[in-house]
Every structure is written in structure tokens, then in C-alpha cells.
Chain A
Amino acid sequence: MKDQLYNYLLMLGDNSMILGHRLSELCGHGPALETDIALTNISLDLFGQVRGFFRYAAEVKGGEATEDSIAFLRYDREHYNCILVEQANVDFAHVIARQFFFDVFQELQLKQLVESKDEEIAAIAVKSLKETKYHLRFSSEWMKRLGDGTEESHERLQAAVDTLYPFTGEFFHETPLEKEMKENGIGVDLELIKTAFDETVSQIFVEATIKMPESKQRMVKGKYGIHSEQLGFILSDFQYMQRAYPNMEW
């Protein structure tokens, strides 16, 4: 059970960590100062959530584990984030669409985790939920601005949605680990989340005048540690200092 809980915490933390990393790449390069500040804020919140999950994971694992050994010293195959969050910052439309899909999912997931039988997870979820509601408001507003803005912004957002929506199915694929966590009252019911996710997404698509993509869901297995080619590059950046200068205090 200890191993399963540990792996489940990695799964929860990895989504926030990899998305937080992608957003942190944009700091100083945003389309306007206000959006730069807002995206950095979201990145900061996500790393705050990562620290919550990984500190707890370190406790569960015991021994020498710390939030940093968990964050910086795992191999690529030991990361369990969904493929969506590792997708690149192609343009602002991709940044917003990726954020929006994640926020809708994450808000629903956290709402259930608030009720988790694991009190630590529930406490992290309470704090994270407040932040995620704000993120969702931000990303939904931008979905509408871009979708129902100019012709160019509409086309760009539609293209981003067409590319990224097919990765969202992975959120709802229940791994054996998630099934077990659900049955133990620790994890979430992904089927319930899926229904609410579809509703919110369709509603925002209508307001943003965005068409539901016809393309099929992609075959991806991020939750099993099999990632896109992009994760290796993210990790070589992210882990650089800890790998180049091992066993030091910073």
C-alpha cells in the first residue's frame, strides 16, 4: 500500500511539475506584462502543489527521500504525468488551450480529492483547489478572448485545440493504480470527472466559437511512464544542476 500511495502522489505531483516547468519557460517572454505575471503566478502555484505532494511522498517513502530528490532525481520512465502537460509552448494559443484542458480536469479532480480518506492529500487539495479555480477562470477567459477575438486568434486557437484535445482522453484512462486508489477512498472517480469535463469544455467551446475537434484520441501512456520525445529535453533542463553537481546543498 505504501508503494502505491507513493506512486499515486508522484502521479498527482508530476502533472503540476511538468506544466509548471513549461510555464516557467515563458517567464519574461509573455505577450504582455500582465499575462507574463499571470502565467508566472500559475507556475508558482503549480510548484507549490508539487512541493505539497512531494514532501508527503518523501515522508511516505522514508529514508533519505526529500521533495528535491523526488523532483530532480527520477529517470524519465519514472514520471507519471499525462502527455498533454509536456506539450511545447508553440504559441500563446497552445499555452492557453493546454492550460484550459488541464485546469478543467484538475479542478474536478481536486474537488474529489478534498474528500479523500487520506487527510494529507485532502489538505493539499483544499489549498490547491482555491488556486486552480483562479487558473481556470484565467484560462477560460482567454479561451473566449482568443476564440472570439480576431480571425487570426480564432484560427490559432482552433489549431491549438485540434492538436491538444486528442491528448485529453488520457486524463480519464484509469490505470490499475488509480482504480485501487479509488476503491480505497483515497483517489478519484475518473468517470464522474469525465462527464463534468465534457460539459464544461463544450460550454466554453460554444462561448469561444471553437469547434469540437473530430480527430480521434491519441494512444498515449504517460501515466505508465511512457512519454513523448519532449520529456527527455524537459528533464535535461530541469535536472541539470542536480545531475551535474550531485549531493550538494543549494
Chain B
Amino acid sequence: MSKEINLEEKFQARIDAGERIEPKDWMPAKYRKTHIRQISQHAHSEIVGMLPEGNWITRAPTLRRKVGLLAKVQDEAGHGLYLYSAAETLGISRDEMEIQLITGKAKYSSIFNYPTLSWADIGAIGWLVDGAAIINQVMLTRTSFGPYARAMVRICKEESFHQRQGYEIMLGLAQGTPEQKAMAQDALNRFWWPSLMMFGPKDEDSPNTEQSVKWKIKRKTNDELRQQFIDITIPQAEYLGLTVPDPELKWNEERGHYDFGEIDWDEFWQVVKGNGPCNKERIAARTKAREDGAWVRAAALAHAEKKEARKVEKKTAV
């Protein structure tokens, strides 16, 4: 028992000193578990996030936009891949994680349970959803677990490109015809509040925050990050000439921040619990890809084994 305590103290001392924890280092079981949960959920968010945007690839309005969107969704698959690999270093397989996703045991970012109904939604997702994700992820580049932090550095670079691309789509629409401007406003109306929900529950309802701060998984609280996002985003919306759908929104000179209205937390929890507009469709799509792909993965494995066996046969013959 005392030895365990000693190890934990040393572990915490390393984190406090700003050292990175690597997969082979000793770590408390709870640290491992928390990271498996968080990294795999992050990976799932990348993969499920491909679906609402993928929904518009075949209908992208120009060749340039189509290529941009294809490349973006492909980047997300790449992010999912590094993150699954980072989680695997903690002793869980990709297969186990996928099963957790499709059985609903693992969560993913709720924002992807909202539908993409127009081309402007692709702009809004890049601008707002990637914008919110970056705020979280920049913080995570300095998290204590090495593979996660390194994955974040790479992911952040690509995400900020995606965010600019999204904003550029919005800008084009906002400066376009009345139909295009209406499309952009409608997308902002639908994605604004869900984007604010991406930072999670209010601090007083977020039980994991304290431990996460101690382990440097979190350096700022949900409410601090949400405020940061709002403060950055409002001037961008103003530049677009679009109206943020919050009548209570206003600059507070004293605080040096925007004040904003109350988030609909009932909606938040409903979507988290699986009752959002597209939760069922997203899981069904991932389940279908997994099931349809089973025979393909089996074939690749069988072929590799046959090839290996032939090699061995050849060697023994010589």
C-alpha cells in the first residue's frame, strides 16, 4: 500500500514538473482508464464527425469545394487513426474501441448528432465546430500523456486550416445572393447553441474537472473555454454580417467578456443520452461500415497468412 502511495506521489511530482508520461511508464490505473476513455472518445468523434460532412461531398457546389471537403473529411479519418493508435499504447485494441462505439458504451461529441441540411452547414461546421474543437485541442497539446499531446500538435495544425476553410465558405455565402445569405444565417441559427454545448456541462455540473486539472488533461474549465470561444467568435459573426441567435448576448465592459444567454441543458442531456436528431443514424452508419467490412478484413488477414506460409514453404524447400 505504502509503495503504491509512493509511486503515485512520484507520478504526480513528474506531472507537476511538466514531464510527459509515456506509455511504458508506471501510471495509476485511473490515469490509464481516464485516458483510454478520453482519447478513444476523441477518436470516435473524428470518425463519427466524418458522417455529417460526408453527407455533402457528392453535392458540393464546385470542384474546388468538393476537393476541399473530401480532403477535410479524409483528414478526420487520419486524426481518428492517430488517436486510436495513441489509445492503443494504453492497452486497448481498435476493435474493442469500435465495439464500445457501436454498442453505445463509448460516447463521441454530441454535435455530430445534428443533421447537415444545407451546403452552408459545411461552412458552419468548419467555422464553429472546428473552431470550438481547436480551443479544446490547443489546450491538449500540453497535456501530460505524451502520445496524446503529440497527436494533438499535428491535429491542431490541420484543424486550424479546416476552420479557415469553413469561415471562407461562410464569408462567400454571407457576401452572396439573398438565398445564400439566408442559407448561412439558417446554418448559424442551428449550429450556434450545439457548438456552445461542445464544451460540456457547466463547471458546477462537471465532476471530472478537478482530477483532470491535476493531471493536466485540462488546464481550463469548461466554462472558461466556452467563454473564450464566444469572445473569439462574436466579432467573426459580426464581420460576416450574420446574427448570433441569442438575444441576451452583449459585451460586458466590466468583465471584458461577452455575456450570453442560458444554454438549453435539457437538450444537451437528451442528445448525450442518445435522443438527438441523428444519434441512431450515426451509430447505424458506423455499424454498417463495420459489418460490411468484416469479410474484407478477414480476406486481408487470410491472404497475408497464406503469403507468409508460402514464404516459409519456399525457405524450407531451399
Contacts and interface: CB of A to CB of B under 8 A. Distances in A.
A and B interact physically = yes
Contact of B78 (A28, A31, A37, A54): A37
A41 B285 contact: no
- Secondary structure class of chain B's binding surface, majority of residues: helix
A240 B59 contact: yes
B213 interface: no
Interface string B59-95: 1111101110011011001101100100000000000
Contact of B77 (A33, A146, A237, A248): A33
Contacts, number: 133
Interface string A1-34: 0000000000000000000010011011111111
- Secondary structure class of chain A's binding surface, majority of residues: helix
A54 B63 contact: yes
Interface in B149-184: 169, 172, 176-177, 179-180
A135 interface: no
Interface string B279-318: 0000001001100111111111111001000000000000
B51 A149 contact: no
A220 B296 CA distance: 31
A144 B303 contact: yes
Contact of A150 (B78, B293, B299): B299
A214 interface: no
Contacts of A144: 303
B54 interface: yes
Interface in B88-146: 119
Nearest to B173: A250
A24 B57 contact: yes
Interface string A63-80: 000011001100000000
B58 interface: yes
Contacts of A54: 63
A111 interface: no
A33 B80 contact: yes
Q: Which of B47, B62, B66, B299 has the most CB of A within 10 A?
A: B299
A43 B67 CA distance: 9
A115 interface: no
Given A27-B73, A41-B74, A92-B296, A242 B61 contact: yes
A204 interface: no
B36 interface: no
A41 B298 CA distance: 23
Q: How large is the interface on A (under 10, 10 to 19, 20 to 34, 35 or more residues)?
A: 35 or more
Interface in B243-261: none
A28 B299 contact: no
A32 B296 contact: yes
A27 B66 CA distance: 12
A59 interface: no
Given A28-B73, A44-B67, A145-B300, A237 B59 contact: yes
Contacts of B57: 24-25, 27
A51 interface: yes
B59 A245 contact: no
A43 B294 CA distance: 23
Contact of B296 (A21, A40, A153, A249): A153
A149 B299 contact: yes
B70 A149 contact: no
A241 B61 contact: yes
A149 B298 CA distance: 8
B50 interface: yes
Nearest to B49: A28
B81 A37 contact: yes
B285 A35 contact: no
A240 B81 CA distance: 32
B283 to A, nearest CB: 13
B61 A71 contact: no
Contacts of A229: none
Contact of A37 (B65, B77, B298): B77
Contacts of B295: 150, 152-153, 156
A171 interface: no
Contact of A248 (B169, B176, B306): B176
Interface string A137-164: 0000000111011101100100000000
A29 B303 CA distance: 23
A30 B293 contact: yes
Contacts of A249: 172, 176
B77 A36 contact: yes
A-B pairs with the 4 shortest C-beta distances? A31-B293, A149-B299, A153-B299, A241-B61
15 contacts: A24-B66, A28-B51, A28-B285, A29-B292, A35-B293, A36-B77, A37-B77, A47-B63, A72-B62, A145-B299, A145-B303, A152-B295, A156-B295, A250-B65, A250-B119
Interface of A: 21, 24-25, 27-37, 40-41, 43-44, 47-48, 50-51, 54, 67-68, 71-72, 91-92, 144-146, 148-150, 152-153, 156, 237-238, 240-242, 245, 248-250
